[in-house]
Chains A and B, each alone.
Chain A
Amino acid sequence: MKSLALPLRNERGIALVAALVIMALLIVLGTIALNATVSELQVSGNELRNRLAFYAAESGAQFARSRIRDEFAAASNQVSFVTNFASDTHDFTPPSGYAFSITPGSCSTVGSGTAADPYCFLIESTGTANGNASATIEVMFHLEVSEGPLTYAGYGKSSISIAKDSIIDAYDSSTGSVVSGAGDLISGGDVDLGKDVVVDGDVTENVTTVASDPLGLLTSGGVLDTLFDAAIVSNMNADVAISPYVTGTVLNIPSTAAGSVINLAPGDYYFTSISIAKDITINISGPGEVNIYLDGKMDVKKTININTSGVPTDFSIFSKSSQSITFNKSTDFNGLIYAPNADVDFKMDATVKGAVWADDLWFRKDADLSYDVNMKDKFGSSSGALELPIVSWREI
């Protein structure tokens, strides 16, 4: 009994054992604290990388919006662009320094572009960051295309007079095909149609609901007024094609120039008076628009061809003046005349494609006015500021 009990009762070395036990406890506690710290550091790092991935994905959505805007504006057929958005390939290559990839998706309905039923675009953007971090978001944009005010073949603030055997119709300059029923005439006063005049569209008289200057040419600070002021300063009147005929801001192409072809460079021109003698052809020398800002009289003699090989939306005459714009017989003009305060008078045999906006609008005998349906986009949103608000957003 004694020999068994003795070793148990022998407490020599107990201090060392106690020290070791306490030490082990402290080490365990220390390790737990250290582990917690390490995982906290990892959590911080992961959170940062996830944030970066999220911002990459969000950047992708923002980038996609600017690409969609760009591609939509450049699309020759905007409706098919919207319809085929999900299946077509798009250039969504991210700029350098950004790590995201974008996949176009399809909305349940693509919409028709109106305020009530806007176009719909769906994209999925995946952003990545170091350490396999990634975030995916799905964003839906809406796009509403508003028409510009140039929706009529002819507008006359005070009156429209069309003499006999004239034809008013409409076509689409991008396809060349006839658009039936779109050759509309509208006036704040009377519309006087001569014998055998054919109007393939609506004729509306004494309208008070249509603004006579919807583009803000005569209003200080209006859209066109601002462009007009800029053109006075930056005008290209020194362009070599017309420089022999320009004195200051007066353009005078004399009869000695008959038979000439003048190729105007795209840009803005400002004149206080224009007179063109007979038998002159004026074209645009390259891609782009020619805008003529006029503050005075315009008098054009017979057999003049203006922009006949170009599209009407590229050639515009904006007149601030109340002095008349007169074309003598056999004018062939592709473009827009916007002169809300001036009388515009086309003598016999005029062929005009585009649109005419005037105070008193006259077409003499045998005129042919074809409204270009693309005019409605000229100052509408589909040519410029396209708003693509985000209508739905979710993280996947």
Chain B
Amino acid sequence: MANKRMEIKRESGFTLIEILIAMSVFAIAILGVVAMQTSSIRGNMQARVIGEEMLDATSRVEALRMLAYSGSDLTDGTHTDGNATWVVSTVNSGAVGEYKTVVLTHTWQLRGVAKSYSVSFIKSEE
């Protein structure tokens, strides 16, 4: 009987040393996992911002492409509206082979760092 009680006693609970080792291993692992999750969340946000800003920039480009060739937003020089700046220059001005080059730069901030997209396109009269 005494022998049986001894055996039960030995199986119940963990030793202190066991707990300490397990907890420290677990803690180190959790640190790594937390770091992983943080960078994952940060990366996700970055991808989302990049996507959003790209949509912003391209919708601006689309709007400019649809404008009338001689519209006021497509006159020679630098135009600014919100985050977008575009530079229009007319090539072969006045000649039959006239066209306009437009370089649009869309800038934004990502965690305090300035980022930008640059889209160039050409427009010619109908």
Contact = CB atoms under 8 A, between A and B. Distances in A.
Most B CB within 10 A of own CB, among A11, A59, A95: A59
A26 interface: yes
A59 B100 CA distance: 10
A73 B96 contact: yes
B40 A15 contact: no
Given A16-B18, A74-B96, A66 B11 contact: no
B40 A37 contact: yes
A189 B114 CA distance: 76
B25 A41 contact: no
A12 B18 contact: yes
A9 B11 contact: yes
A362 B23 CA distance: 116
A34 B40 CA distance: 5
A161 to B, nearest CB: 41
A116 to B, nearest CB: 19
Contact of B36 (A34, A51, A62): A34
Interface stretch (A180-188, A253-261, A325-333, A383-391): A383-391
B122 A59 contact: yes
Contacts of A15: 14, 18-19, 22
Given A40-B44, A59-B121, A62-B124, A30 B97 contact: no
Given A16-B18, A59-B120, A389 B126 contact: yes
Interface string B49-90: 011001000100100010000000000000000000000000
Interface residues on B, range: 35 or more
Most B CB within 10 A of own CB, among A47, A63, A385: A63
B97 A62 contact: no
Contact of B50 (A27, A44, A56, A98): A44
Nearest to A390: B126
Nearest to A387: B126
Interface in B6-38: 11, 14-15, 18-19, 21-23, 25-26, 29-30, 32-33, 36-37
Contacts of B51: 44, 47
Contacts of A37: 39-40, 43-44, 47
B65 A70 contact: no
B2 interface: no
A224 B26 CA distance: 90
Contacts of A16: 18, 21-22, 25
A381 to B, nearest CB: 11
A97 B126 contact: no
A18 B22 CA distance: 8
Contacts of A23: 25-26, 29-30, 33
Contact of B30 (A9, A26, A66): A26
Contacts of A238: none
Given A12-B18, A15-B14, A65-B124, A58 B54 contact: no
Contacts of B119: 51-52, 55
A389 B29 CA distance: 65
B104 to A, nearest CB: 10
A62 B122 contact: yes
Contact of A14 (B14, B46, B123): B14
Interface string B88-99: 000110011111
A22 B120 CA distance: 52
A131 interface: no
Contact of B25 (A19, A40, A60): A19
Interface in A180-211: none
Contacts of A67: 97
A67 B96 CA distance: 9
Interface of B: 11, 14-15, 18-19, 21-23, 25-26, 29-30, 32-33, 36-37, 39-40, 43-44, 46-47, 50-51, 54, 58, 61, 65, 91-92, 95-99, 101, 103, 117, 119-126
8 contacts: A12-B18, A18-B22, A19-B22, A30-B36, A34-B36, A34-B39, A36-B44, A45-B50
Given A52-B119, A69-B96, A74-B96, 18 more contacts: A16-B25, A22-B26, A27-B33, A30-B32, A30-B36, A33-B40, A37-B39, A37-B40, A41-B46, A43-B47, A55-B61, A62-B123, A63-B99, A63-B124, A65-B99, A66-B98, A98-B122, A385-B125
The 3 closest A-B pairs by CB, nearest first: A70-B97, A37-B43, A30-B36
